[in-house]
Every structure is written in C-alpha cells, then in structure tokens.
Structure 1
Amino acid sequence: MWNRRHALGTLAALGGLNLLPARAQFRVEIAGIGATQLPISLLRFRGESSCPQPISQIIRADLERSGRFRFVDTSQMFDETGTPAFADLRTQGSDAIAAGSVTKLVDGRYDVRYKLWDVVKGADLGGQSYPVPTGDLRLAAHRIADAIYEKLTGERGVFATRIVYVTKGGGRYSLRVADADGEGGQVALVSPEPIISPSWSPNGLELAYVSFEDHKPVVWVQNTATGARHRVANFRGSNSAPAWSPDGQTLAVTLSRQGGSQIYLISKNGGSPRRVTQSMAIDTEATFAPDGQTLYFVSDRGGSPQIYRQPVNGGSATRVTFSGNYNVSPAISPDGKTLAYVQRQGGLFKVMTMDLASGSGQSISDTDYDERPSFSPNGRLVMYATRTGGQEVLMTSTVDGKVKTRLLSSGQDIREPDWGPYGR
C-alpha cells in the first residue's frame, strides 16, 4: 500500500522455531547534544581486561545513547571499594562517578559489582553485585546502566530491554531478537520469504508477525522462549499488521476477508474476529493507545494516507494528522501523549513526532528513508529503520531529535524494528 517497502503495513516471515545464537552485528555511533546533560565520570572496572565483555564501555554507550549524560574523564583509579576524591572531581566538573569490578568466580561465573557516588554532595548512592554466567555479562552491564540512569534521573532505564528486527541477506530473511543496543542477537526465524512488522506482546514473551509461507499473508504468534507458534488469522484474502492490546490478550489486525482492507480485533489464540472500522477505504496499521480504549490507524478515506483514531468499541473516526498528504506507521508513546509516525516529504520519508494535545509536530530524523518508528518503554527514545550510506540500518533518537544513535550492520539490510517492553 503506502509504505515504500510493504503493502498494507503488514509483515511476512519465517522458518525455524528455536532461538539460535547470532554473530554480533552492530557498533554504535552517537551524534548530537542533549539540551541538559548531567556530567558524570565512569571508571574502567577493575578486572575488566580479563573479562569477555567490555563492561564499562557498554555502560557508557548505554548512558550516552539516552542523551541525558555527558562524560567527564578523570585520572582517578579505584573500584567499588574505594573512595573518590570529591574535591578534584568537582573541580573537573563532574557531578557523579561510578566505579566497579569484574571477578571470575570458581564456578565459572563472573561477579560484576559497581557503586555510584554523588560528587556534589559527597554521598554514596549505593551499588550492587551481579553474579552472572558468561552469557549474561552484557545483561549485567545493561542493568548497571539502568540502575545509574534511574538513580540520577528518577526515571526507569531501558538498556536491559530487547528489540526485534528483520534482516535480509543472501536471499534469506531472519527475525532477530537483540539487546536494546542491537548486540547479543539471537535468530528466532529464518525464511526465504520476507519477514516484516514483528510486534512484541506486552509481557515480552511472544511475538506476533505475518508469514507468507502459506503463499498468502497469515498472522502468527510465536513464543520467544520455546519457539512454539500458531496461526491467529488465516482468512480469505490478506491477514496483516498485527498489534497487541495492552492486556496482551487481543490483536488488532488488518483483514480483507470482506473485500477491502479493514481493521478487526481477534484473540491472540485465534477465533472469530470482530470488525472495528466500517469504511470503504483502506484502513490498516492499527496500534492501541496505552489505555486500550482507542485505536490509532492509517486510512486513505480522505483521499490520501493519514492517521486517524477511533474508540475500540465503535464510534466515528477522528483525523489526527493534517500536515502533509502522506502520514503512516503510527506509534504511541507509553504515556499516550506523543505520536511518532512517518511522513513523506516529496520523495523522502521522515520520522516525525507530534504532541497529541497541541497537534504540533516536528521531524526528528536526519535521514531520508525512514520507516516504522517504535518507542522505548520509558518513552524517551524512538527507534526506526532507515537507509544511509547505501545500507539499511537501525537508528534511535531522543524524542526531541537532539541525540541520535546509529546501529551499523555488517552488510545485511535491516528493517522492521519493534522495541520490547520491560522485563525479559
């Protein structure tokens, strides 16, 4: 339909069932300066040189990507058992400092420890120990970054969450689950057929997607831990664009079972769908508001693709986007206050954000071929796919567009990201 890559905002898929290890495929480039950034120092962890993962580098990259921190280098050297020279740090302009250690235990695990100090107050803000197997070292680093972020900002961090995305290379499509920084990926599905628009369940245990393995688009749900999967929508015509309800029990899907493409609600276990939209136009790409009472979706009922909203239990649709003649791929922030979407500007596609109360919008993208924005669970970041330097990559941006992170691939095209919920 209107998206440059996929018709009807749908998705396609698959292959195997079990999560398999995948080679790391990303490095991070961060650009931009946040409006207000907290100056912080982070020391290299004692014992890190003998650890399979660069713990302090992972923590630093996480915090930088948030746009909330500016790092201040210091010559001080100590671990979580030491004491900072607060006066020197204040002179250097640092407001906080974190240090830690990594120790290999006799059972083969690693004990990762950290402590955080408030430099301005000269106060110990506490720390924690994470005894983890080798495979969870990155997760331990992400959790430390989350703890530092929350302690210093008062908001929950998202670095230990996961994302899902699709790669294409060598004539094959892969559905991959990875850490929020794009590393630590596992392959959930592989297929010679396209895979698009995967969607996380609210509890982070299931993925909905569309597979063309039946020679038509069919909506599936798959358990990320076991690989077990089942068809949810396999009706005559197209079955596409699944989106989870906040309670995780229902999917909004686009079906053409009665002719034109319309939005329906269906149990995640399948069954009889209930039609929500009643137009003669093409209605697709639905997404639930956080309260579960409203659907945002794309329709060309006004002559061009625009974003509308409508009560889940029926009622008239209200147009939301008015600037531009092509606005698609709506995503709603976790607090329900901000809309992210893609706007076509001439022959370009740009990620936009809109304050829903005022209707004011802005572009947050420096690239020209953006698609499928998705909010982080704390609503502070937006992830999207785009094309740059001849490759399709993933980007994250702060909601104000001031700090962006480019996750660079190793050669495969990357598309269709969705940011998972808290918990894993």
Structure 2
Amino acid sequence: MAAAGLWTTSPAWAQFRVEIAGVGATQIPVAIGRFKGEEGVPQPIASIVIADLQRCGLFKTLDASADKLDETSRPVLTDWRGKGADALLAGSILPLADGRFDIRYRLWDAARNKDLGVQSLVVPAADLRLAAHRIADDIYEKLTGDKGAFATRIAYVAKTGRRYVLWVADSDGKGERDALTSNEPIISPAWSPDGGKLAYVSFEGGKAKVMSQELTTGRRRVLASFKGTNSAPAWSPDGKQMAVTLSRDGGSQLFVMGIDGDNVRRLTQSGGIDTEAAWSADGSTVYFVSDRGGSPQIYKTPLSGGSAQRVTFNGPYNISPALSPDGRWMTFIGQVNGGYKVHLMELASGAVRVLTDTRDDESPSFAPNSKQIIYATRNQGRDVLMTTSLDGRIKASLATPQADVREPVWGPDIVGAKR
C-alpha cells in the first residue's frame, strides 16, 4: 500500500510522502499535528516525525492539525480514543535570539489515558532534522518498548556517469552529505563502531586500497595497501580490530589487523576465496563467504583461530552476511530461481526465510536496533535503497539521488555523536 500524503497544501510538506508496501500485523494509531510556530522553520518537524513512524510500518498516523494543540494543551484523551488514536503528539517551536530553536513536545498515551510528559530539545538550525528523528525515536520507544533507529545514519555509494560518490545520509535517505567524490570506484563502505569513521576500498592510483576516513574532518589514511588485492574491510564491535581480505600471500584470504594497519595476522587457510567478513555481535566469531566447497556459501570461524564451520545450506549461492547488533540474526543475499534476494537466518535455530520478492538485491545491513534491514535493489526499473522489516511485511524506499546506488550500510546508534 502507499501511505497517504502528508498535508499536501505546500511543496515542503508534500516532499515527505512515504511509499511503503505491506501492512504490519498490528499498527499503533498516533495523532500528530503541526507544531505550533512551525511555519517559517527551515525543516517541517512534524512531517519528518510522521514519515519516520510510517516508514517503519509499526504506526499509522492521524492528522491532528485542525485542533491546533501544543505541549501546554490538556486534551480529553477519551475523545481521541474515540477518534481511533492510541496516542497523541503535540508541540511547539520557538526561535531563540542566538539562532537556535527550542522544540518542546508532549506525548499522551490515549489508550491508557496517561500523560507521558514534556520533552525539550534546543538545537541549531542544522540539527532540526536530527531533532525530528529523535522525537520519532522517543515515540517509538515509549509506545513499543524498543529503541528507535531514526536518529541514525546510513552510508552508500552512488555512481553518476564516471563519478563515484560516497554519501552519508539520515536514516530516511535525506540530509545527504558527500564524504568522498572520486573518478575511480569506491566499494565496501563500513562504519566504525563509534560512528566517527568510514572504512572503504578505493581504487585511486589504479590499485585497490583499504582506506579509513574521519567524517568530521575528511582526514584519510591508508590501512591496507599490500601486494595484490586489499578489500572488504569490517570493523570489530569494539573498534580495536579490522578484518580484511588480502591476496598478499597468493589467493584471497581473511586477515585481522589493528585499526592502524598494524599486527596483521591471517585468519583463514583454504584453497578457495575467503572474503566479506562480518563480526558476531560479541566479537568472538567472524562470518565470511567462501567457495571452498565449490560454490559461494557462508562460514564462520573463531577469532582465536580454528576450523571454519559452514553456516548456509539452502540454495546454491549465498553471500554478503551481516549480523544483527542484538546477536539473534544474520541477513544475507541468497540465490532463488536465478534471482538474488534478501534472506534472514535465526542464528539459534538456523531457520531461514526469504524477505524480498525482488531479484537484484545486494548488500543487506541491519539497523542498530536490529528491527529493520536496509539493502540495494532494482525496483520498477531503477536502482533504489529499500528497508524491510524482519518479517518481510513492510518495505519502504528511501529518498536517494537519481543514480546507480549501491552498497548501503546502516551506521551505529551513537547518542550525541558529531554529524
């Protein structure tokens, strides 16, 4: 289904129309109106909050703008319950003399006839979108009991003509900033656990090198530039090590090294190609792709060393593993009837389900709250970034440039991280 447009009386509001497919098993109805004083503010706060809640599929929204509520109002919650709302959000925005904005909002739980209290955020204009995402996270957590992931970032690579751009954007695909532009390919972006750096593979100078880049300063450094290929960087969960694929000893194998490129040691020993490392949530195990059995499948090996164990057995071709931060799940790309689709495995049981009905999926990555997966695919003839719920019911396309978009990766949940 397509979600209804959001207050389409002006282009600024209409641009936040959210296209989602599917309906969740249960949706929480939340009534939200424009914040008092929002006219003339550089970002439409309420509209961004609504788009976030709709995109995750757990909420449906009701327009409360006509009631002109703010955080000081005292609505009769039984009346709102009668209108079909389980919750109600209202707020105000006040420009301050120093150029910042004071955003105040109150959430009511109409289903339980409970006032959940007032919150306040004072932010510069540049952080208005972030503030809106944080409000959506607050609503998500108070109404579901789980942490939200709206105030997080994604990274992906776009190609337009001969130009490659490494983009960093808000979790909804908007507010994008280019971290790197190059005339040579950029592949395999990976977030550091603190959200301050991206590792990636650059082909500048005609050779594949693993690079690390600070996002606030743009400072870059070479982490791996050994003889042969250097590819597929993956940070350890504690941020102290990195797994990479190197062919310096002949044949592509997994290596682990310090984040300064020191203390390099070989992790796998096989006659095949071992690549695409992904760390378990506790950092004790490295999952990877290998063709040692004749076709690409996913294996795992202890970080301390030892024999590798095969993990995937369904289908002839399984690649691109990613582990959920909560340690429960693995997502990957598997071949089904000649197409490539996002799969989900429950690690405890080994049970696998297919989440998508497209055929050209790639690069799945978990949200930091482990509740959604982002991936790249082709949909209706164009390259897009999509998110899916873990049951595959809710899918949403993200706003991205009209370009060849590839290799999305969802950043960590870093409260107060510099953006």
TM-score under structure 2 length normalisation: 0.93
2:365 aligned with 1:374: yes
**In structure 2, what is the Cα distance between the partners aligned to 1:300 and 1:104?**
59
Which amino acid in the other structure matches residue 155 of structure 1? D
The aligned amino acid for 2:41 is: C
Structure 1 residue corresponding to 2:187, chosen from 182, 186, 196: 196
Secondary structure of the 1:35 match is: coil
Q: 1:33 aligns with which of 8, 23, 35?
A: 23
CA contact (8 A) 1:223 1:229 kept: yes
SS at match of 1:279: coil
Q: 1:326 to 1:183 in 2, by over 3 A?
A: same
Identity %: 57
Q: Structure 1 residue 331 and structure 2 residue 312: aligned?
A: no
- Stretches (4+) displaced over 6 A: none
Look up the match of 1:59: 49
Measured in 2, the distance between the counterparts of 1:27 and 1:178 equals: 18
Alignment counterpart, residue 42 of structure 1, candidates 2, 23, 32: 32
Give the direction of change, closer, same or farther, for the CA distance of 1:29–1:114 in structure 2 (3 Å limit): same
Q: Quick check: 1:107 aligned with 2:94?
A: no
**Of 403, 409, 424, which aligns to 2:400?**
409
Structure with the greater relative contact order (CA < 8 A, sep ≥ 6): 1 or 2? 1
* Alignment match, 1:298: 289
2:175 counterpart of 1:187: no
CA contact 2:18–2:54 (8 Å) conserved in 1? no
How far apart are residue 284 of structure 1 and its match?
A: 0.3
2:412 maps to 1:421: yes
**5 Å matches for 1:341-352?**
341-352=332-343
> Does the aligned pair in 2 maintain the 1:38–1:70 contact within 8 Å?
yes
Q: Tell me, which stretches of 5 or more residues in structure 2 are unaligned? A: 1-14
- Superposed displacement of residue 39, structure 1: 1.8
Given that residues 353 and 363 in structure 1 are in contact (C-alpha distance below 8 angstroms), is that contact kept between their aligned partners in structure 2?
yes
**Worse-matched range after superposition: 102-111 or 136-145:** 102-111
- The separation in 1 between residues aligned to 2:236 and 2:294, in whole angstroms, is 28
Q: 1:410 to 1:209 in 2, by over 3 A?
A: closer
Matched, 1:220 2:211: yes
The one-character-per-residue Cα deviations of 1:50-101 (angstroms, maximum 9, x if unpaired) are: 2121111100111122222122344533111101221211112211111111
- CA offset at residue 390 of structure 1? 2.3
Matches within 5 A, 1:204-353: 204-353=195-344
Q: One-letter code of the match for 2:87?
A: A
Q: 1:92 aligns with which of 68, 73, 83?
A: 83
* Residue correspondences, number: 400
Deviation, structure 1 residue 26: 8.9
| Partner amino acid, structure 1, of 2:111 | V
| Residue 387 of structure 2 corresponds to residue 396 of structure 1 | yes
Tell me, yes or no, if structure 1 residue 157 matches structure 2 residue 135.
no
Alignment partners' CA distance in 2, 1:132 and 1:54: 14
Inter-partner Cα distance in structure 1 for 2:410 and 2:396: 15
Contact residue 16 and residue 51 of structure 2 kept, 8 A: no
CA contact (8 A) 1:263 1:286 kept: yes
Q: Distance in 1 between matches of 2:84 and 2:20?
A: 22
Offset of 1:38 from its aligned partner?
A: 1.6
| Displacement of 1:318 | 0.9
